[in-house]
Amino acid sequence: MHAAATLARDDAPAAARRARILLVEDSARLAASIRDYLKQQGYEVLIEGDGRAAASRFERHEPDLVVLDLMLPGKDGLTICRELRSRNDVPILILTARGDAVDQVLGLGLGADDYVVKPVEPRVLLARIEALLRRARAAAPHPGERKLVVGRLAIDRARRAAAIDSRALDLTTGDFDILWLLASQSGRVVTRDDILRVVRGIDYDGLDRSIDARICRLRRKLAEAGGAESMIKTVRLRGYLFVSEG
C-alpha cells in the first residue's frame, strides 16, 4: 500500500531548517505513526511506500537521513540500500524483523549505518536517528583537522578520505569513523564499547553483532585497496587492534 506525505522543498541550509527524513515503509499505519511522532520532535518527514519510487523521491527531496524498511513492494530494501550507498553517504537506518540477524548483517554490509528492530519503539528510533544525524554533522570537514599516516595507510579527516599507497578506499561514513578510531589508536586495543559509542552513541550490551559485521566489511575494503584484512586483528574478549602492516 502506498502512502505519501509530500512536503514543499526547502532550499535553506540543513543547519537552518528542520532535518528532513525520508521514510520508506509500505505499511501506511506504521509509516503514519512514525511520521507523526517524528514531526512532534521537530523533524520533517516524507513517506514513500513503493520501493521502485524510493530512489527518485530521494533525488528529488535530498533528505538528511533515510529510514528504510527491508520488505517493500516493487524493490526490496537491501537493493535500495545498495543503490543509495553507491552514490551518496546519507545516513541510512534500516528497519528489520525482530531477531533477524541475517537482514541486519546484510544491511550493514551493504552500507546501512544502523538498524532498529520491529515492532518499532518510537523513543529508540528517535535516539538512533539523533545519533546518526549528530555523527553526520560532526563528519562535515573542519579547517585544521589533521591527517594520519599509519604504514601505507593515509587518512585525511577533513576530506573524509583514506588510501593505501594512494589507492582510495570506498568508505561509508560509518566505515570512515571506525577506521579513523582504530588507526588513530594503532597498536592499542579498541573495545567494542569504544566503537559502538562512535557509530551509534550507545554502549555495547554484549549481544549486538553489528560491530562484527562492520569490521568484516572494513577488512574487505582494506584488502580491495591493496592492504590486508589482517590489518585489523581481533583480540579475543577485548576488541580490535589496528596494525600498520597485515
Per-residue pLDDT of the chain (246 residues; tens, 9 = 90+): 333 332 333 433 444 358 999 999 999 999 999 999 999 999 999 999 999 999 999 989 989 999 999 999 999 999 999 889 877 888 999 998 766 677 777 778 788 888 898 888 999 999 999 988 888 776 655 544 578 888 899 999 878 899 999 999 998 888 898 999 999 888 888 888 888 877 765 444 445 567 888 899 999 999 999 998 899 999 988 899 999 764
Q: What is the CA radius of gyration of the chain?
A: 18
Cell digits of residue 115: 538498524
Enter the pTM of the model: 0.58
CB atoms within 10 A of CB 23: 26
First to last CA, the chain: 50
